[in-house]
Amino acid sequence: MGAIRPILFVMKTLWFFLVLVVSSVGQDVALQGPLEQVYGIWRHSMIQKDYAAWSKVTATHRQIATKNRLNSERRAFPKGIFEVPAVPPALAGLKNVQTKRNGRTAKSVYFGKVDFGVGGVPTDNLLVIDFVQENTGWKYDVAEFVNLAALPDVRAELNRGDLAYIAKTPDFAPTGVVPPLPVAVPIAKYIAKVYVFCPGRSVDVTVNRVSRHHFGNAKEAELVMGGVVDGKNEIQYSIKGLPGGNGKEAMSIRVYVLSQIEGVMPIKAFEYQVLEGAPVEVSGSAKFDLDAVMSKKLLGK
């Protein structure tokens, strides 16, 4: 028996080590509470419109990006931070199905009746919250609502406690990469959007060397950070094929400038258009003008 005990001790020690490894790779129980506290403070700051509290718990890059967006929309800062269509959902009543850390990034995934306070009966869906660790501790970055209406089997699995979908989906794991600090932009004179239609392709666009955009198999528009300026503006773009595309699809890249006068239609300031079957530039750059005639139409003066 004396020879067996050391072996048992080694086996128990190994088992304990494996449990620790599994816990660190999967659920980070110790981190869940601190992250929930950060989110709770952030949520309360949004409800109370408390900029001082908001700035203390929001990641630095997200603060700059938020101000950039408001400046680009010519909306007041910090007032515009709190002008949101719905109340951030509470975590009470939701089940934490995964909390993971990767370097200075973390992500928490919650399942249940995510309630934005807009009426109706909430259904079981996912709320995914990203965090970034800074010198003063963990900070809120961004939250994403994942509607499972089109995934009834996944919803049923999660209700049974089967977390296979969460475990195998990369988007539910933290990347380990802290987003860089954006370049701060001033209040835009003209509000602009870049529109891309690119079935079967991915497109990267940069406007005035500041506003960077990525589109994949998309038909959508994004706000141009900093807007556009009087006179010369510039655009760079690169285009790649995606799996499933045939390389013959029609596509377009456009920049629209929005009027600040009600009823005046946006002006198309730039367009790169490819007809179906026509050759596509792998990359390109161009300049486009915003002249006095366009300015008068947009501003009414």
CATH code of the domain in which 73 resides: 3.10.450
CA separation (Å) from 240 to 139, 214, 222, 296?
A: 35, 11, 19, 38
Report pTM: 0.87
Give domain status of residue 214, yes or no: yes
Helices and strands per DSSP (H, E), number in the chain? 7, 12
Residue 236 in any domain: the answer is: yes
8 A C-beta contact, residue 223 and residue 80: no
Check whether 13 has a pLDDT greater than 60: no
Average pLDDT over residues 94-118: 97
Whether residues 108 and 54 share a domain: the answer is: yes
Question: Using 50, 70 and 90 to split pLDDT, how confident is the model at 5?
Answer: very low
Beta-carbon count within 10 A of 264 CB = 13
Q: Do both 159 and 210 map to the same domain?
A: no
Q: What's the pLDDT score for residue 26?
A: 57
Residue 23 lies in a domain: no
* Mean pLDDT of the 218-227 span: 98
Which of 172, 204, 227 is the last residue in one of the domains?
172
Q: Is residue 24 part of a domain?
A: no
Same domain, 34 and 146: yes
- Segment 118-125 mean pLDDT: 93
| Nearest-angstrom CA–CA distance, 94 and 143 | 15
Would you say residue 183 lies in a domain?
no
Which residues, other chains included, contact 103 with Cβ-Cβ below 8 Å and sequence gap of 6+? Answer: 174, 176, 177, 178
Residues 211 and 90 both lie in one domain: no
| Pair (212, 289) in one structural domain | yes
On average, the pLDDT of the chain sits at 92
Domain boundary among 119, 143, 172: 172
Domain contains 233: yes
For residues 14 and 6, is the Cβ–Cβ distance under 8 A? no
| Per-residue pLDDT at 151 exceeds 80 | yes
pLDDT > 60? residue 77: yes
pLDDT at 22: 33
Decide which of 153 and 19 is more confident.
Answer: 153
Residues 51 and 160 reside in one and the same domain: yes
Q: What is the DSSP letter of 172?
A: G
Whether residues 239 and 124 share a domain: the answer is no
Whether residues 149 and 236 share a domain: the answer is no
Q: Say whether pLDDT at 57 is over 70.
A: yes
129, 213: one domain: no
**Boundary of a domain, candidates 109, 140, 172:** 172
Of 252, 238, 255, residue with least CA distance to 203: 238
Q: For position 129, what pLDDT does the model report?
A: 98
Cα-Cα-Cα-Cα torsion 155, 156, 159, 162, nearest 10 degrees, comes to -90
Q: Average of pLDDT values for 231-237?
A: 98
Does a structural domain hold residue 22?
no
User: Is 144 inside any structural domain?
Assistant: yes
Range name among 35-39, 117-121, 224-228 with the lowest pLDDT average: 117-121
Residues 255 and 131 in one domain: no
Backbone angles phi, psi at 90, to 5 degrees: -80, 155
Pair 143, 127: CB distance under 8 Å: yes
Rounded-to-10 torsion of CA 7, 8, 14, 20: -160
Q: Residue 268: which H helix or E strand, with range?
A: strand 267-274
In residues, how long is the chain?
301
Structural domain of 257:
191-299
Whether the predicted pLDDT of 62 surpasses 60: yes
Please report, rounded to a whole number, the percentage of residues in the chain having pLDDT higher than 70: 91
Mean pLDDT of 3-14: 39
**Terminal-residue alpha carbon distance, the chain:** 97
208 and 126 inside one domain: no
**For range 259-277, the mean pLDDT:** 95
For residue 20, pLDDT over 90 is answered with no
Count of Cβ atoms closer than 10 Å to residue 183 Cβ: 13
Cα 27 to Cα 46, 129, 205, distances in angstroms: 28, 15, 38
* Number of domains making up the chain: 2
160 in the same domain as 33 = yes
pLDDT digits (tens, 9 = 90+) for 202-221: 999 999 999 999 999 999 99
Chain-centroid distance, C-alpha 220: 15
Query: Is residue 222's pLDDT more than 90?
Result: yes
- Tell me which residue has tokens 């869940």: 32
